[in-house]
């Protein structure tokens, strides 16, 4: 099931499978979210693009789906409302992944705001990972730069080591798969071809992931076009690996991300 939302500023689409936002587009502008034309929209299979919710683990786990159960599970739409400001709010709930309860709240307006609220309903401590695996639509990969991560340590999955980001502006010229640790900073995507700046602001997050599959990996993914790496970049906000969360019983953790854009001057 797909939910379509329209406000005075924007349009959006959300699927109940994964509570997956596949579209957010400000009126008169290019889409902010990238969605692969090869995504298969098959029950139980992740949607390629938009904002997959990664929970309760990030990456692979032997015998289980990669990136957790949340992105392929059917979520329940619990509530919708129209605020006096004109913003549309939706609340989704994930069937319990013992002992964790998860709610996902989306605000659609001039910007897109997402909040994942996880509660430990068990009697013991619980450890988990969270991430909004956000795919952004860009003019072309060669025309963007990413700012906000200077000085951060990161694990580079391509090179297989830990490094420190020394560049003020990150330019992507090959496969990139990096997890930046201990960073709460906002990140900017400067797109000179689409003439806009995308701002990713977050709270309750200590990790930022930057990903582009580049040529060879794109060709190996059946639900991703061979050339689509040119029009997308993932800037993901969450708590993964060393930044994973441990919750005491009856405690909550909130991951909140705001995505906005403005024209380049």
pLDDT of residue 28: 94
Q: DSSP class of residue 79?
A: E
pLDDT of residue 77: 98
91 three-class SS: strand
Closest alpha carbon to 25 in 41, 37, 9: 9
Rounded CA-CA distance 220/241 in Å is 26
pLDDT of residue 16: 98
**Fold adopted by 2-263:** Beta-galactosidase; Chain A, domain 5 (2.70.98)
Asked if 186 and 251 count as a contact pair (C-beta separation under 8 A), the reply is no
Rounded CA-CA distance 197/147 in Å is 11
pLDDT of residue 162: 98
pLDDT of residue 78: 97
33 phi/psi in degrees, rounded to 5 = -105, 140
Which residues are within 8 A (CB) of 233 and not within 5 positions of it... i.e. 6 or more apart? 135, 136, 138, 141, 144, 146, 172, 189, 210, 211, 212
pLDDT of residue 60: 82
pLDDT of residue 111: 98
Those residues of the chain that have pLDDT short of 50 are: none
Q: Which helix (H) or strand (E) holds 218?
A: helix 214-220
3-state helix/strand/coil string of 16-40: CECCEEEEEEECCCCCCECECCCCC
Its sign, for the CA torsion 141, 145, 147, 150, is: positive
Tell me whether residue 126 is exposed, middle or buried, using C-beta atoms within 10 angstroms of its C-beta: 0 to 12, 13 to 18, 19 or more: buried
Which residues are within 8 A (CB) of 140 and not within 5 positions of it... i.e. 6 or more apart? 193, 230, 231
Taking only the tens place, the pLDDT of each residue in 70-106 is 999 999 999 999 999 999 999 999 998 999 999 999 9
């Amino acid at each position: 099931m797909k939910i379509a939302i329209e406000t005075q500023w924007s349009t959006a689409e959300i699927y109940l499978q994964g509570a997956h936002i596949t579209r957010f587009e400000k009126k008169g502008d290019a889409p902010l979210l990238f969605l692969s034309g090869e995504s298969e929209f098959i029950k139980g299979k992740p949607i390629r693009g938009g904002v997959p919710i990664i929970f309760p683990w990030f990456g692979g786990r032997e015998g289980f789906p990669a990136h957790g159960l949340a992105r392929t599970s059917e979520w329940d739409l619990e509530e919708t409302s129209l605020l006096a400001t004109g913003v549309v709010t939706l609340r989704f709930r994930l069937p319990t992944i013992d002992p964790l309860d998860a709610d996902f709240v989306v605000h659609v307006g001039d910007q897109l705001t997402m909040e994942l609220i996880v509660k430990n309903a068990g009697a013991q401590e619980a450890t988990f990972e969270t991430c909004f695996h956000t795919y952004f639509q860009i003019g072309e990969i060669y025309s963007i730069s990413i700012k906000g991560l200077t000085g951060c340590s990161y694990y580079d999955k391509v090179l297989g080591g830990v490094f420190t980001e020394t560049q003020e502006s990150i330019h992507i010229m090959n496969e990139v798969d990096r997890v930046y640790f201990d960073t709460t900073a906002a990140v900017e995507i400067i797109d000179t071809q689409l003439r806009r700046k995308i701002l990713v602001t977050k709270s309750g997050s200590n990790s930022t992931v930057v990903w582009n599959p580049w040529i060879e990996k794109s060709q190996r993914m059946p639900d991703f076009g061979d050339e689509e790496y040119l029009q997308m970049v993932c800037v993901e906000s969450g708590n993964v690996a060393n930044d994973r969360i441990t919750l005491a019983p009856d405690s909550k953790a909130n991951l909140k991300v705001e995505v906005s854009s403005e024209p380049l001057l």
